Chains A and B, each alone.
Chain A
């Protein structure tokens, strides 16, 4: 297995600090993060999903060491950031990290161009070069022509595009995004998600993405970690989560998901049992793409994955998956 770019071992964060003697004990402490263990591999889009107060921000701030974890070990790009000095941390962050914030966190006194160029200026890159690079990035996120505007003159969606361009300006290895689209209207959110997918296909960066919206997680994620009360309940691909929910809490989320857009042929294929189908679908095809084909056929349709036939799909199986909202139909 390849070395993960972020590796997080048994990390805890307790607020309230040390329990003082005679103070009624530790009951005033808040455990914001418990026993978090996860590996994120290079190029992956890793989504952390959970409701408000579940500890998502705490986790991502531990991964960047914006806050110090109470316990545990975190290695980012080969460096142990839990023990790094403030100076080393600055160097690590400059080398590997970019971040996008829920409320954009643009600097109000700088123009859009200077905001995007800001991280470059911090690194001592001279004005002409950093402005040229910022201009290219603004073009990438579709904001050419707005270079000289100030953040307060832009809409929320535009501001977040600036935020994304700024986070990308130093070409970081890892992009952290803390609920980047939560402050936006649903329509805009959708638009920025599409933009995000387009950018991601182009740049192939490691992304740690936080959201409290399960649909958003499904759309964007390679893998999802589901959090509750500071703990990670389950980590898996969207499909795995839907097909093999370990906890009732996870099932609560997956129940309402449109399965036809998540499940692939290879996952729901049944053993062939000697059938020799005449028609085939690709193993990576999504259910909604091939459902008609299966339903209009009178015999089972074969599933071919990486050159081999791995199973068949029956009309009845497809119908029961499409009509059920319950887990059992798939399992």
Chain B
């Protein structure tokens, strides 16, 4: 019996080991013999997906009722947009602009919260949540933002983050609680969440604009939808992890279902929910920065306009302000998540003593705000204090351009001509049916017919939508980006696994890279290389290298020690052990890292569209500019489909390797 299994496995393995490369070579070589006309997907076979989605959006936004007897959906979306706009206005006024009650551009009728109060409160919150270190980080970060003259923009961004994050948190917890209670709802929801996590951020913006009208509410709604999945997921996960005894206690105590959820389950799941809030907040920031490009104002907008003017200094400063904001938000919400689990009692008995800090804060806020009322100038950061370094930064950028442009350009040109352009031409030159066929074959080899069908159909439907060229450009750019990320990331990961020092340093770098909104990566790249595919590729690699490093390090560290000891004792050298034992055993984890790397590369596309690539990201960007919902949705779905295919194929490969490791 076991022998039979072993034989069939080895046969199977041998079949796969030879068949795939053989088929690929035959396909590719054979295809060069085919006429050029076969390269492009036939025009006649294009399915008008884009028109269908346009019609759907038109139907959704029409002014006559969709369902007779009910008000049109527009009414609801308008009401929703109104509510959201009201919230956004309130928080933006409170943090950044002050309240205007009279029309016109005059001075604010009520000032915003004084800048020094915000810094003080944030630093205090850092101190309460994470001790002195976090207080200092917060304090210094916010001072940096203020002194470089980015205070108002940063507060606009912060206000958007607060509104979107608060709505996401409430909606996410509510939806998560429903999914926990109802199996049917959970089953309906889960594929949507999967899809939502692969759809790029931009894709939400277009339909949101159509439904909610042009303005900050649409950006905010897109942000909320984008950030919901992790919130829902961590809520469900947290609720499922509540010990069964705890929910049994609730039932014996006679809780109604509502009491059970509010008083027993959700509080017990709080630590996990708080971790979700941390993740959701960072996604919100990422999206808010991107969305501010459509004119909502804020740090992202500042960076973009500065880059357009090639004012690298201002761009860098605004970018660093984003970094500071990201680090503060991340560390504080992480510290809050850690704190949510441990409770300490307070010996003080009286109400005033127990709430002395809160009361003092309310008093200070009231007093400083009152000062701002009488002397509005004190509420705003004084212009005279701003000592921007943008002039010298621009000088620096110019120096780099003058002194480094030679070697940098040399590398860029060499790489473009030897690697990038040939790759693009090769992929672009394949007959149109080869890519769908190829993913089908790979899917069949690693998993079976179902995966083969799924992969082929998804890729084919992208071509059928008329997106063959941008899709191939996407594959070329992200494919190269992934390969380069792995080429650099895996050795770095191995180094991290072998040396504690390297592990610590790489860990800190990865942590920082992970908190940065993807937009930030663009600034140094544009500064050094201007626009084009090469810049896009570097931004992609910088962004997507993190999982390659992380998972390799993790995978090798996880290899059981006794395997290594056994190999060393049987006379292997360190290198042999690494090559023959550790790396093969770590392959499943490394493949997980590959999958994550691809996802991140794809999610970077919307950013790289800004430097003029011609991929699916550019499609969504153009759709956004033209407010063409049909085109935007289809392009967004196309990116999601590519992500799904890549993810399924790589994880099938990983499962396949796993089975091999366990059987042989």
- The residues of A with any CB-CB pair to B shorter than 8 Å are 61, 64, 66, 90-91, 93-94, 97-99, 101-105, 107-111, 118-119, 121-123, 148-150, 152-153, 170, 176
8 contacts between A and B (CB under 8 A): A66-B248, A90-B254, A93-B254, A105-B245, A105-B248, A111-B345, A118-B253, A153-B343
B33 within 8 A of A: no
Which partner residue on chain B sits nearest A61 by CB separation?
Answer: B248
Query: In the complex the two chains form, is A122's CB within 8 Å of B243's CB?
Result: no
Considering only residues 232-270 of chain B, those with a C-beta below 8 Å from chain A are 243, 245-246, 248-249, 251-256, 259, 263-264, 267-268, 270
CB distance from B246 to the nearest CB of A (A): 5
The CA of A140 and the CA of B343, in the complex, are separated in Å by: 25
B3 within 8 A of A: no
A105-B246, A107-B264 given. 17 additional CB < 8 A pairs? A90-B255, A91-B254, A97-B252, A103-B245, A104-B245, A105-B245, A107-B267, A107-B268, A109-B267, A110-B267, A111-B345, A119-B253, A121-B263, A122-B263, A123-B254, A148-B347, A150-B343
Which partner residue on chain B sits nearest A109 by CB separation?
Answer: B267
The CA of A104 and the CA of B245, in the complex, are separated in Å by: 8
Q: Total A-B residue pairs with C-beta atoms closer than 8 Å?
A: 71
Question: Which residues of chain B have C-beta atoms less than 8 A from A110's C-beta?
Answer: 267
B341 within 8 A of A: yes
Question: Which residues of chain A have C-beta atoms less than 8 A from B344's C-beta?
Answer: 150, 153
Query: In the complex the two chains form, is A148's CB within 8 Å of B243's CB?
Result: no
The CA of A44 and the CA of B599, in the complex, are separated in Å by: 63
B500 within 8 A of A: no
Query: In the complex the two chains form, is A93's CB within 8 Å of B345's CB?
Result: no
The CA of A103 and the CA of B267, in the complex, are separated in Å by: 18
Which 4 pairs across A and B sit closest by C-beta, in order of nearness?
A: A94-B254, A150-B343, A105-B245, A119-B253
CB distance from B21 to the nearest CB of A (A): 41
CB distance from A6 to the nearest CB of B (A): 15
Query: In the complex the two chains form, is A99's CB within 8 Å of B248's CB?
Result: yes
- Given contacts A93-B254, A108-B268, A119-B253, A152 and B342 within 8 Å (CB-CB): yes
- Given contacts A93-B254, A119-B254, A176-B252, A109 and B343 within 8 Å (CB-CB): yes
Considering only residues 340-398 of chain B, those with a C-beta below 8 Å from chain A are 341-347
The CA of A94 and the CA of B256, in the complex, are separated in Å by: 11
CB distance from A183 to the nearest CB of B (A): 11
Query: In the complex the two chains form, is A148's CB within 8 Å of B249's CB?
Result: no
Which residue of B245, B246, B255, B345 is within 8 Å of A122 (Cβ)?
A: B255
The CA of A66 and the CA of B343, in the complex, are separated in Å by: 30
The CA of A98 and the CA of B252, in the complex, are separated in Å by: 7
Which partner residue on chain B sits nearest A167 by CB separation?
Answer: B252
Question: Which residues of chain A have C-beta atoms less than 8 A from B243's C-beta?
Answer: 103, 105
**Secondary structure of the B contact surface, majority rule:** helix
- Given contacts A107-B264, A152-B343, A101 and B251 within 8 Å (CB-CB): no
CB distance from A60 to the nearest CB of B (A): 10
Which partner residue on chain A sits nearest B248 by CB separation?
Answer: A66
Task: Digitize B90-115: 1 where CB-to-A-CB distance is under 8 Å, 0 elsewhere.
Answer: 00000000000000000000000000
CB distance from B518 to the nearest CB of A (A): 36
Question: Which residues of chain A have C-beta atoms less than 8 A from B267's C-beta?
Answer: 107-110
- Given contacts A103-B243, A122-B259, A148-B346, A93 and B248 within 8 Å (CB-CB): no
The CA of A123 and the CA of B256, in the complex, are separated in Å by: 10
Query: In the complex the two chains form, is A105's CB within 8 Å of B342's CB?
Result: no
The CA of A105 and the CA of B253, in the complex, are separated in Å by: 12
Question: Which residues of chain A have C-beta atoms less than 8 A from B342's C-beta?
Answer: 152
Question: Which residues of chain A have C-beta atoms less than 8 A from B253's C-beta?
Answer: 93-94, 118-119, 122, 170
Which partner residue on chain B sits nearest A172 by CB separation?
Answer: B252
CB distance from A32 to the nearest CB of B (A): 15
Question: Which residues of chain B have C-beta atoms less than 8 A from A107's C-beta?
Answer: 246, 264, 267-268
Question: Which residues of chain B have C-beta atoms less than 8 A from A102's C-beta?
Answer: 245
The CA of A176 and the CA of B347, in the complex, are separated in Å by: 34
CB distance from A168 to the nearest CB of B (A): 12
The CA of A109 and the CA of B265, in the complex, are separated in Å by: 11
The CA of A149 and the CA of B342, in the complex, are separated in Å by: 12
Which partner residue on chain B sits nearest A103 by CB separation?
Answer: B245
Question: Which residues of chain A have C-beta atoms less than 8 A from B259's C-beta?
Answer: 122
Query: In the complex the two chains form, is A101's CB within 8 Å of B249's CB?
Result: yes
Which partner residue on chain A sits nearest B260 by CB separation?
Answer: A122
Which residue of B254, B341, B346, B347 is within 8 Å of A108 (Cβ)?
A: B341
The CA of A108 and the CA of B339, in the complex, are separated in Å by: 13
CB distance from A203 to the nearest CB of B (A): 18
Most A Cβ at <10 Å: residue of B270, B341, B345: B345
Which residue of B245, B270, B343, B346 is within 8 Å of A101 (Cβ)?
A: B245
Task: Digitize B52-68: 1 where CB-to-A-CB distance is under 8 Å, 0 elsewhere.
Answer: 00000000000000000
The CA of A94 and the CA of B255, in the complex, are separated in Å by: 9
CB distance from B263 to the nearest CB of A (A): 7
Which residue of B252, B256, B270 is within 8 Å of A64 (Cβ)?
A: B252
CB distance from A155 to the nearest CB of B (A): 15
Query: In the complex the two chains form, is B345's CB within 8 Å of A105's CB?
Result: no
Most B Cβ at <10 Å: residue of A61, A91, A104, A108: A108
Question: Which residues of chain A have C-beta atoms less than 8 A from B251's C-beta?
Answer: 66, 93
Query: In the complex the two chains form, is A150's CB within 8 Å of B345's CB?
Result: yes
Which residue of B252, B263, B347 is within 8 Å of A99 (Cβ)?
A: B252
Which partner residue on chain A sits nearest B270 by CB separation?
Answer: A109
CB distance from A216 to the nearest CB of B (A): 20
Which partner residue on chain B sits nearest A151 by CB separation?
Answer: B343
The CA of A61 and the CA of B248, in the complex, are separated in Å by: 9
CB distance from A219 to the nearest CB of B (A): 24
Which partner residue on chain A sits nearest B246 by CB separation?
Answer: A105
Question: Which residues of chain A have C-beta atoms less than 8 A from B345's C-beta?
Answer: 111, 148-150, 153
The CA of A226 and the CA of B267, in the complex, are separated in Å by: 38
Question: Which residues of chain B have C-beta atoms less than 8 A from A153's C-beta?
Answer: 343-345
Question: Which residues of chain B have C-beta atoms less than 8 A from A104's C-beta?
Answer: 245
Question: Which residues of chain A have C-beta atoms less than 8 A from B249's C-beta?
Answer: 99, 101, 105
Task: Digitize B329-346: 1 where CB-to-A-CB distance is under 8 Å, 0 elsewhere.
Answer: 000000000000111111
The CA of A73 and the CA of B246, in the complex, are separated in Å by: 26
The CA of A109 and the CA of B267, in the complex, are separated in Å by: 7
Question: Which residues of chain B have C-beta atoms less than 8 A from A122's C-beta?
Answer: 253-255, 259, 263
